[in-house]
Structure formats: structure tokens, C-alpha cells
Amino acid sequence: MSLADLLLGRPLATEEEKAERIGPGQGIPIFGLDALSSAAYGPEAALTLLIPLGMAGIAYIWPISLSIVALLAIVYFSYRQTIVAYPQGGGSYTVASENLGEWTGLLAAAALMVDYILTAAVGISAGVGALVSAVPSLQSHTLVICLGILATLTLVNLRGIRETGALFLVPTYLFIACLLGMIAIGLVKTIAASGHPVPVVAPPKLMSASAGLGAWLLLRAFASGCTAMTGVEAVSNGVMAFKEPTDKYARLTLTIIIGILMVMLAGIAYLAPVYGVGATTPGEQGYQSVLSQLLAAITGKGAFYWVGIGSILVVLSLSANTAFADFPRLSRAIALNGFLPHPLTLRGRRLVFAEGVYALAILTAILLTIFGGVTDRLIPLYAVGAFLAFTLSQAGMVVHWRRTGGAGAAKSMFLNGLGAIATAITVAVVLVAKFTQGAWITLVLIPGLIVLMRSVKRHYKKVERQTRKDTGVSTHDLSSPIVLLPIEHWSVVSEKALRFAWNMSDEIQILHVECGEETESLCQQWAQLVETPAKNAGLPVPELVLLKSPYRFVVRPIVDYALRLERENPGRHVAVLVPELVEKRWYYILLHNNRSSALKALLLVRGNERITVINIPWYLRH
Amino acid sequence: MSLADLLLGRPLATEEEKAERIGPGQGIPIFGLDALSSAAYGPEAALTLLIPLGMAGIAYIWPISLSIVALLAIVYFSYRQTIVAYPQGGGSYTVASENLGEWTGLLAAAALMVDYILTAAVGISAGVGALVSAVPSLQSHTLVICLGILATLTLVNLRGIRETGALFLVPTYLFIACLLGMIAIGLVKTIAASGHPVPVVAPPKLMSASAGLGAWLLLRAFASGCTAMTGVEAVSNGVMAFKEPTDKYARLTLTIIIGILMVMLAGIAYLAPVYGVGATTPGEQGYQSVLSQLLAAITGKGAFYWVGIGSILVVLSLSANTAFADFPRLSRAIALNGFLPHPLTLRGRRLVFAEGVYALAILTAILLTIFGGVTDRLIPLYAVGAFLAFTLSQAGMVVHWRRTGGAGAAKSMFLNGLGAIATAITVAVVLVAKFTQGAWITLVLIPGLIVLMRSVKRHYKKVERQTRKDTGVSTHDLSSPIVLLPIEHWSVVSEKALRFAWNMSDEIQILHVECGEETESLCQQWAQLVETPAKNAGLPVPELVLLKSPYRFVVRPIVDYALRLERENPGRHVAVLVPELVEKRWYYILLHNNRSSALKALLLVRGNERITVINIPWYLRH
């Protein structure tokens, strides 16, 4: 296991779990990367829709961003309360299923799962996209690079949450420092210039207005800008990862993440019109991201600019990691309720929910492979999942407050109700605006996932029903089995199996499939090899049963015989002893006919409760 | 099994084997395709080397071809005698190993195996190459088409020898008729024109001489022309496939194949200079194959021409099938001597040696995949394998005659000796002339195969030595095993396993890996569930053993415990009962943690003779 130790680190004991827990310092990179990095594309998405309004359009980014910040504040208060109410984690899924019922919970679960898979795929391909546009010769390797990064993220996350947090510490704080620094410098310059600062590097000229202002346009710009809010959910799912007192540290982490994000959004929205920065059309010549223009306008294209651009790229591509931090916790919460496979609830060697990490890695790899590593067009649809989860979470909190009541409940209910309505509207706007661009996929995936989860639950219920046993062991009708022992020729392996059989039963049948010479010599020697020694020792004499096989099948006649014997002897068990030559070097498997494996497999598939397979191994020495 | 029936035909009983045997009518397509089709490239290969001699060069094709025909006659007589001497089949391999010893036999075996794999790969890619040059849009699908044809050939051959023969009947005889017809018409026209016929379509003008005549050039032309002799071996390996009297029908088939091939070679060699037909440079513009030129010159570009060209293409691409007919028989002969895996000796559902067909298909697929379906450059090296086999076969026959003696032995010895020397020279010439073009691969592959075959034999000897048992079963020290039963929680499955255990032993230990709540509830209920019922029934009370697992591994502590118990109780067997929930739908495998499979596998790998695994299946009902 030294390779596993090397790759994944030594196994951690269950008692070490507390030591693996984190504080806000590591919590921000782990649970905040996705939320914080969305400051890099949220305002840009809104401004892109304002392009047709020309110079006049960019002024609207301020009210739009303020609405988003307000919505963010509502969502923040909601999740803050969720953390206290549900310290075991679970976020939207837990809130929705506990307050709005199983179906709504599954809807939230499905929405979040889709959201996380998309976060991972889109995050990785965005990072690789930036890399590839810088180094065009890598273009043809896009998918391989994507899968390589995915594998690295998987490995890092399997090593445990503390190591992941440590790894992402530097780029995350560098990104935060650069963006807050830029905003601070911009504000100082603006105040110094009485509101009219001169850009160090002038942003590209904006196009003249080609369309008039309309409510639908503003609504769409708002909906697009809302992508800045994705990832806010993360902390509430991961409460259990924090040090004691968990809810305090989780809330603190959430507060810091949302606080920084609000400052970033507001700062960008305020400075963009001041410096005359608008969006340029993506994919066309002369395209430059809003943050790049703003950085250049405020600080010039010096070291600060390049460090800032670099940290933005790194953080964008690492934002996929938030999915790795949260998806396993979410799927564990769902699996604990029986709606996803049980193994998702198990902690792996490094205390992370390893099966969830694998599941996310596999699903993301499938998505990346289908889209060849270019998942840009999936961006619109992952806002749907996130906002559906927000809506259900807020609605759940409304019910929660109505149920618990108490001081301030009415106010909280109002806030959460407002949030639910606002986020529901956003879902509707995004769905309508982006329906043909891919949002319809969500409408297929989410119900599909719900059906899947319900059938998993149904299956577990069936197993539970069929295997449940509350009473003590029954001691009636204990009868020894009829033992069948298939042999090809007499050898030490068959001798060992026969000796084992004598321990189990008085009724032993040796099965031999007829095959010419070997059969003759076996029959001739039978008395001397088995019958006489058995009689002499006073042991039951095994019966030699010759099976005909006109079509030269060897395994099938044995299985057929066992099944017939079981039918003809109701109430008796049939035990099939399978002697097996074990070779510890894998390639020797080609040298033997592997009939014992085939026999075991076929008996398991075609058999029933009264047929038991007993493997008698014989080991080759070297 | 209805899909298998549909694809492969109903299983044939062993008694039907005689009915599956064939006569010369089907023997010629099955065993002659490779030999006959080589008339299409042998003379061409010799003429290609004569290009530098210009017009004067093509006259040399006549003496070169006569030498090849003479060599063919010697090889023919040799194989004719081999068929009589070795009616069980085996060809060069059998002759060489029986007369020249094991090492030489293995050398022949390796040479022939390489030859057959190359025949299959080169045949298929030659056919696909012709198809692709006719329909260039298929170019990018070359490999897929090659693998498709390979799969079809595999399937056809798995259906049995009679069906294969029937399928290849028409193209083979069409090819023979066209070539013999062309030669007949050409001869009549030549005689009518007193040796100077006028070509219907004039062949391309030959280049003027650019090099002088030399012995090395003629030797290389001879060596290249010798590729016309590949495939001659086939019948001698397949004697057993013929009707009774097998040797008579096999000899008749060989005689017809070689007779037709000689007529073709001589006819082409005579007519080419008469009609002024020489080779054109392959791969250059204006390239036209010798047979195409000759057909056009003799019969014009009418229906006869196109039918002829079509049948040549079909036969070339089907020539790969000879490998499928012979390789399984050859590998069976080798496996019977213990140098290849035993399963190669078994007849499949349609009485063919199915494992050999699979082995050839897999090896050919690997070769085709490595070379992307373009195996032209492998052509030189497959003459090496064939001629090495010829040489060893002839040399073996020399020894054979010296041993048996009798009338005519001296003459036969002389003929075979001459043949051995001639074919040995050919091997040397081909090796030297084509060494850097790929013939060196043979020098790596053949010794590699020999080493492999010897290690297979060594392995079988070891197994035989270790498992051999000539004496009767020992009845001493029969003691019941210590039974271990791992359970997660109490259920009908564990109840069934415990009841089974009581049948086997008085010493039962229930293993439970500690895991919090479940452990507590199991311990609390233990007395009520197991102890009290056992005591009341007078059965041995199983011991509950709790295993600690600080790292949450479940399978490993159980395996470690079983191994320790086995060490501490020398002479006792340890039987591990593995309860397993069996789901007949494969996808349910994802829903359970598959610990029982992991436990079985790990016990088998880490265990030893005194550890036995007993699988107690429990089937889910739907």
C-alpha cells in the first residue's frame, strides 16, 4: 500500500477527525473560491447585455449590482440562520426536505448536484480556455489538460480537507488582495479627482447605442449578473468541516466570504461607469474582460496589473474545487436518507467522503469528454441549479420560521419570503432567457435525477424489507448439505477438497464431466484412490457421478446437475466445492482454463438460497 | 444463449465432428487461398526488382520463375510425404520437433506463428488498401474497416470449417478461372501469332536500363519472387480437417493447389516478356499491377478484365483466412505438447479450436492497431517466417528418411536436402536484403516466442509436479474447521450463514468490525438473538469477536484476523463464511458496498491452503 500512501498520504484514524477540521483561514479558500471568483464574471455578464445601450448603458450597472448585493444580503441572512438551525450541514437540501417535504428536498438535491457538476466542469474548462488562448499550440490537447487538472483536483481532495485548504491559500488571498486593492486605489483616485479620474490606460471606446432601454433588457442583465451569486451555498453544506464551535466558525467564514464579495461587486459597479469601462463583445477582436480594463485604467499595465490578472485566472480555474469540497458532503446527506448509494456516506482513508469525490470526478470527466473540454455554453444553465436551490432554501426557511415562531420570526419570514420571490423570479428569467441556449437540459436532468434517487430509495427499502430479522436465530431443521465436488482428474487439490467435504456431510457426490481418456483412468482407479481408503477409515463413501456433455461444455453440466439436485431435494442445501489453483502472478490466469471462476460465477447467477459455493484454494509455490 | 446461437450457429455435438470434415472442393478455398493469391504478388515482387534493368530485365523473369516453380515442386513433394507420415497434422512444427528435437520444433513453431499473424494482418490491410484507393473518402476509416473485416473473419471461422469453406467457394474458383483463362487465351494468341502477339491494350512503356545485371540483383529478385510460395504449408497442418481417408484427400487438395499455382506462376512468367509487361514503380504515378497490365494486354479492358481484377482483390483480402484455418490447428499441436496454454486444445461449440481463433484475432487486432491498418511494410518479413518453416520441415524430412530408410529413401533425402538448402539460402537472402526494412523484427519476435513457450511448459511441469497425486485419499487428521462469520448487522442473511456454520463445526466465531451505533445494538441484542436460542437447542454458542478498525477499513481487519487465527492454530482449517446479497441486475452493484467481493478476493490472494472461503448467497426477489 506504499503507492497509495505516497499518493494519498497515510491513513488517518477516525479519532484524528477533529484535528482535520478547519477554521475560517482555510475555510475561505475551500468554500469561498467559487463564490469569490464569480465577481470576475458576474458584473461582466450583466455589462455584456448592456452593450447595445452604448455609453448610457453602463450607468445601469450600478442599480443592477445594488439589487444583486441586496439579494445577496437576503440570501446571506438566510444561510446564516440555516447554519445555526442545521449544524450537521446539508444546506438547501436539508432545509427544503425538512420543511417542505421529501419531493421538494429531492428537487433541491437534484438542482444542487447539477450545479456542482457544472461548477467543476465549467471551472476547469474556463481555466484551460484561458491557458489555451495564451498558448495556442496547446489547443488540440484541451481535453487532455482538462482531464489532467480534474485528476489533480481529485487527488488533492482525496488527501483531505486540510491539505486542500493549504494548497489554495496563496492564490485565493492574492486574488482578494488584488481586487480589494484595485477598488481602494480606484476610490481614492476618484475622490482625489472629485469624481472624474483620468484612466491610466484608457479603456476601449464603447459602441454607440443601437437599442433602447427596456424592462426585459434590464431584467435579463440582472439575471445574468446573478451568476455572481453562485457558490454562496457552499459553506452551509460544509458546516461539519469546521472546528468547534462549528456554527460560529462556519458563520464567520460565510460572513467574510459574502462581505468581500459584496464589496467587490459594489466596487466594480461603482468604478466601471466612473472610468468609462463597459463590456466588449466576447469572441470578437479587441475583446478584453471588464476586470482587465478596470485594472489597467486604475493602476496601469504594471506589476500590479499582471499579478491581478494572473490571480484571477488561477482562482477561476480552481473554483472547480468548491464542487469537490461540497458535492461529497451533499451526496452524503442525501445518501444518509437512503436516496443515494450507501457507500457515499463512508469516510475514506483521509476522512473525506471519498466515494463522493470519485463520483464527482467521474461525472465531471464524462461531461468534459462529451463537450471536448469546451463547456462555455453550459454557463447559463448552472445558474438555474444554484437559484432553484436558493429559492427552495428560502421557502423552506419561511416554513421554518412559521413553525418555530418566537421573537423576530415575522421579520425573518418576511426577509426570506422576499428572497424566495426574488430568487424564484431570477430562476424564471434565466430559464426563459437561456432556454434554447441549454437551460432546457436542466429541465431534463433534474427530474431524471429525482426519479433515480427515488428508485434508489425504493431499492434499499426492498432490501431492508426482505432481509430484516428482529427475532433470534432459528435452530430447527439443521440438516447437513449434499456436497458436490467437481473434479477433472485426481490430484492433491481434489484430495484436499474431499477431506474438507467429509467434515461437512455424509452425502458426497464427486462430479466428473466425461472426456475420454481421463474419464477411463479415473473410473479404473476410483476404488483404489477413494472407495477403499474411505471404507477402511469408516468414512462415508462418496458417489462418483459421470456427467455426459455432448457439446463439450464443462461448466454447464455441473451447474445443471446442482440445480436439478436442489429441486429434487426440497429442504436440503447443496454445497458445491470448487477446487481452485491460485497463482499469485496475474498472467498465469491465461494458462489455466479458469473453469473454477466460471463455475463460481454461473452458480451465483443461476443459483438460489439453497446452493452454496465453497472455494477450496490450492496455492502454487515458486 | 439465443444470441450466441444466432451469431455462431447451434452447438455441434462431438459426434458430429465427422460430418464437419471437408473434401478438396472446400479444402481449396480454406487452405489454398493464401498460396493461390500469392500468384498475384510473387511475380510482381520479382519484376519490381528487375525494373532497373529496363526492357532487357523482364526476360529474366522466366528463369527466376522456373527456379521458384522447381523449388515449389521440391517443397510440394516434401509436404506430400509429411501428410502421409503425420496424418494428425502439424506440418513443419511436428516434422521438426519429431526429427530435429524440441528446440528446432519450437523454432519452426515460432516462425509459423509469426507467419500466420502477419498473413492475417497483411491480407486484411492489403484488401482494405485496395478498397481505400478506389474510394478515397474511406481513407480515415482504414483501421475501423480493417478491424471490422477481422471481426467478420473471426465470426465466420467460429461458425465452423464447413460454413467458412462454403462462403469462400465462389471468389476462389472465380479467381482460379480468370487467371487460368487469361493464361490459356494468352498462349493461344501467342501460338497463333507465332510468338509475337499484339497486345489489345498496350502496357506502359518500360524505363530504359539504369543498372547492369548482377548476381546479387538476380538473387534478390529470386528471394522477392519466393513470396509466391507462402501459404504452401497450410494443408499439412490441416490434415485432420479432411474426410476419411484423410491423407488421400489432403494430398489431393495439396496437389491441386500446388498444380494450379505452378501453372499460374509459369504462365505469368512466360507471357509477361512476350507481351512486354514489366513492373511499374509502386506508389508512383502511373503505377499498374503486373496482372492488371497482363489482363488488359491479353483480353482488353472488357468484362473479363473487370471480373478478373475484382476476383484478385477479393481473394487477396480473403487470403487472411488461411491464417484462421491454420493458426488454431498449429497452436493446438503446440499446446498438446504443453508449450502453449491448454485451452487452445479444446474444441469450441462448433468444433473449431475456438481459443486459437480468438488468440489470432486478438494478436492481429493488436498488430493492425499498432500500424494503423497499414501493414505494407510488414510484407518482407513474413516471407522469413514461412521459409524458415520450410527449411526446418525439409531438414526434418532428411532426418526422417535416414531413420526410416527403405526403398527410395536416398532419393527422397537428396530432394529434401536440396530443398532445405534452397529454402535456407532464401531465408538468408530475404533476411539480408530486407533486414533494415523490418526483417529484424522477426529476429526479435521468434526468440521471444520460444522463450515464452518454454516458460509455459515449465509452468505446467511445476503445476503437475506440485499437484500430482498417485496414491489414495488420506483419511488421517480429519478435523472440522474454525468457522469465521463476518456480519455487519443481524439479518436473515446472517441467520442463514450461522445455520450453515452449525453444520460444519462446533467452533464458530462471529466477526464484527466496530462502527458505532450498529455495534452497540448488536452487542445488546446478542444474547437474545443468538446465545439463548443456541443454548436452548443445545448447539455450540458462537463467540462474538469485535474487531477494532481505527482507519475505518472493514475488509482488512477480517482478513488479518483470519490469517492470525490460521497461524495460531497449526493443522486447523479456517473457513470464512461470506454472506452475499445477490442482485441479478448488474446496475445494483453500485448500490451496495461490494465488501463481500473484496473480502473474497483478498482472502484468495493473501490466504493459503488452510483458509477456505464459503460464499453464502442471498437472492433479492423482485
pLDDT tens digits along A292-339: 999 999 999 889 999 988 888 888 878 888 899 889 999 999 999 999
* Chain B residues with CB-CB distance to A458 below 8 A: none
pLDDT computed for residue A252 by the predictor:
95
- How large is the average pLDDT for residues A435-444? 77
* Chain B residues with CB-CB distance to A528 below 8 A: 472
Does residue A618 belong to the interface with chain B, where contact is any CB pair within 8 Å? yes
Model confidence pLDDT, tens digit, residues B60-95: 999 999 999 998 998 898 888 888 888 887 688 988
Beta-bridged to residue B581, according to DSSP, are: B618
Supply the mean pLDDT for chain B. Answer: 87
Among the listed residues B430, B77, B385, B431, the one whose alpha carbon sits nearest the alpha carbon of residue B225: B430
- How large is the average pLDDT for residues B133-141? 77
Among the listed residues B338, B336, B347, the one whose alpha carbon sits nearest the alpha carbon of residue B454: B338
Residue B285 in contact with residue B64, Cβ under 8 Å?
no
Helices H / strands E in chain B, number of each: 23, 5
Of A456, A539, A580, nearest to B475 by CB-CB distance is: A539
Half-sphere exposure of B310 (CA within 13 A, CB side): 11
**Phi, psi torsion values for A444, nearest 5 degrees:** -90, -45
Q: Are residues A96 and A191 part of one domain?
A: yes
Beta-bridged to residue A215, according to DSSP, are: none
Confidence of residue B442 (pLDDT cuts 50, 70, 90): confident
Among the listed residues A157, A127, A122, the one whose alpha carbon sits nearest the alpha carbon of residue A364: A122
Spatial separation of the C-alpha atoms in residues B428 and B380, rounded to whole Å: 13
Residue A278 in contact with residue A51, Cβ under 8 Å?
yes
What pTM value is reported for the model? Answer: 0.77
Of A478, A492, A611, nearest to B503 by CB-CB distance is: A478
Cell of B474: 488420506
- Contacts of residue B153, Cβ cutoff 8 Å, sequence gap at least 6: B120, B124, B320, B321, B324, B361
Cell of A445: 436532468
Residue A98 in contact with residue A399, Cβ under 8 Å?
no
- How large is the average pLDDT for residues B416-444? 82
Where do we find the cell 445488546? B524
Q: Are residues B191 and B334 part of one domain?
A: yes
- How large is the average pLDDT for residues B554-572? 91
Among the listed residues A562, A504, A587, the one whose alpha carbon sits nearest the alpha carbon of residue B612: A504
* Chain B residues with CB-CB distance to A536 below 8 A: 475
When mean pLDDT is compared across A108-117, A222-231, B25-34, B290-299, the lowest value belongs to A222-231
> Last residue of a domain, which of B461, B490, B523?
B461
pLDDT computed for residue B586 by the predictor:
64
Confidence of residue A586 (pLDDT cuts 50, 70, 90): low
ipTM of this predicted complex? 0.81
Spatial separation of the C-alpha atoms in residues A588 and A584, rounded to whole Å: 8
Most A CBs within 10 Å, among B349, B467, B581, to test the A interface: B467
Residue A356 in contact with residue A344, Cβ under 8 Å?
yes
Determine the distance from the C-alpha atom of residue B259 to the mean position of all C-alpha atoms in its chain, rounded to a whole number: 28
Q: Is the pLDDT of residue A1 over 60?
A: no
pLDDT computed for residue A2 by the predictor:
66
Which of 159-188 (A) contact B at CB < 8 A?
A: none
Determine the distance from the C-alpha atom of residue B474 to the mean position of all C-alpha atoms in its chain, rounded to a whole number: 43
Among the listed residues B290, B235, B283, the one whose alpha carbon sits nearest the alpha carbon of residue B31: B235
Q: Is the pLDDT of residue B1 over 60?
A: no
Q: Classify residue A16: in a domain, yes or no.
A: no
Q: Classify residue B232: in a domain, yes or no.
A: yes
Residue A57 in contact with residue A308, Cβ under 8 Å?
no
H-type helices in A478-594, by residue range? 492-504, 517-526, 532-537, 555-568
Q: Report percent pLDDT > 90 for chain A.
A: 38
pLDDT computed for residue B423 by the predictor:
87
Residue of chain B nearest A593, judged by CA positions: B343
Q: Are residues A202 and A156 part of one domain?
A: yes
Does residue A503 belong to the interface with chain B, where contact is any CB pair within 8 Å? yes
Confidence of residue A283 (pLDDT cuts 50, 70, 90): low
Q: Are residues A335 and A282 part of one domain?
A: yes
Supply the mean pLDDT for chain A. Answer: 87
Q: Are residues A512 and A366 part of one domain?
A: no
pLDDT computed for residue A587 by the predictor:
66
Torsion of CA A452, A458, A460, A465, to 10 degrees: -170
Report how far apart, in Å, the C-alpha atoms of A590 and of each of A586, B263, B355, B456, B486 are: 8, 45, 11, 10, 33
**B51-70 per-residue burial string, b: 16 or more CB within 10 A, e: under 16:** bebeeebbebbeebbeebbe
Q: Classify residue B131: in a domain, yes or no.
A: yes
HEC string for B519-577: HHHHHHHHHHHHHHHHHHHCCCCCEEEEECCCCCCCHHHHHHHHHHHHHHCCCCCEEEE
Spatial separation of the C-alpha atoms in residues B223 and B387, rounded to whole Å: 10
> Last residue of a domain, which of B461, B495, B518?
B461
The sheet carrying B508-513 orders its strands as A543-547, A508-513, A482-486, A574-582, A611-619, B611-619, B574-582, B482-486, B508-513, B543-547
Q: Is the pLDDT of residue B433 over 80?
A: no
Model confidence pLDDT, tens digit, residues B210-245: 777 888 888 888 888 888 888 888 888 888 889 988
Respond yes or no on whether the N-terminal peptide bond of residue B245 is cis (omega within 30° of 0): yes
Give the CATH number, domain containing residue A52: 1.20.1740.10
- How large is the average pLDDT for residues A166-188? 93
Does residue A347 belong to the interface with chain B, where contact is any CB pair within 8 Å? yes
Q: Are residues A380 and A506 part of one domain?
A: no
- C-beta contacts of A437-445 below 8 A and 24+ residues apart: A437/A377, A437/A380, A437/A381, A438/A377, A438/A378, A438/A380, A438/A381, A439/A380, A439/A381, A439/A384, A441/A381, A442/A111, A442/A114, A442/A381, A442/A384, A442/A385, A445/A110, A445/A114
Cell of A475: 435452530
Q: Report which DSSP code applies to B286.
A: T
Give the CATH number, domain containing residue A543: 3.40.50.620
Does residue A343 belong to the interface with chain B, where contact is any CB pair within 8 Å? yes
Residue B241 in contact with residue B22, Cβ under 8 Å?
yes
Of B14, B530, B612, nearest to A473 by CB-CB distance is: B530
Q: Are residues A583 and A550 part of one domain?
A: yes
- How large is the average pLDDT for residues B368-393? 79
Taking the alpha carbons of A159, A162, A163, A167 in that order, is the dihedral positive or negative? positive
- Interface contact B593-A619, CB threshold 8 A: no
Q: Are residues B606 and B560 part of one domain?
A: yes
Q: Classify residue B475: in a domain, yes or no.
A: no
Confidence of residue A484 (pLDDT cuts 50, 70, 90): very high
Q: Classify residue B288: in a domain, yes or no.
A: yes
Q: Is the pLDDT of residue A3 over 80?
A: no
Q: Are residues B512 and B451 part of one domain?
A: no
pLDDT computed for residue B92 by the predictor:
87
pLDDT computed for residue A377 by the predictor:
62
Q: Are residues B544 and B442 part of one domain?
A: no
Cell of B99: 526429427
Q: Classify residue A27: in a domain, yes or no.
A: no
Spatial separation of the C-alpha atoms in residues A10 and A55, rounded to whole Å: 59
- Contacts of residue A267, Cβ cutoff 8 Å, sequence gap at least 6: A179, A180, A182, A183, A186, A187
Q: Are residues B542 and B436 part of one domain?
A: no
- Interface contact B473-A495, CB threshold 8 A: yes
- How large is the average pLDDT for residues A13-36? 87
- How large is the average pLDDT for residues B150-159? 91
Most A CBs within 10 Å, among B475, B584, B595, to test the A interface: B475
Spatial separation of the C-alpha atoms in residues B240 and A273, rounded to whole Å: 92
Does residue A456 belong to the interface with chain B, where contact is any CB pair within 8 Å? yes
Residue of chain A nearest B580, judged by CA positions: A604
Q: Classify residue B190: in a domain, yes or no.
A: yes
Spatial separation of the C-alpha atoms in residues B320 and B363, rounded to whole Å: 13
- Interface contact B475-A536, CB threshold 8 A: yes
Residue A159 in contact with residue A8, Cβ under 8 Å?
yes
Spatial separation of the C-alpha atoms in residues A155 and B129, rounded to whole Å: 46
Model confidence pLDDT, tens digit, residues A600-613: 888 888 888 889 88
Domains held by chain A: number: 2
Q: Classify residue A66: in a domain, yes or no.
A: yes
Spatial separation of the C-alpha atoms in residues B411 and A125, rounded to whole Å: 79
Residue of chain B nearest A464, judged by CA positions: B491
pLDDT computed for residue A65 by the predictor:
95
Q: Which domain holds residue A144?
A: 37-459
pLDDT computed for residue B375 by the predictor:
64
Check residues B430 and A510 and name the one with the higher pLDDT. Answer: A510
Pairing of strands B611-619, A611-619: antiparallel
Confidence of residue A260 (pLDDT cuts 50, 70, 90): very high
Q: Are residues A233 and A381 part of one domain?
A: yes
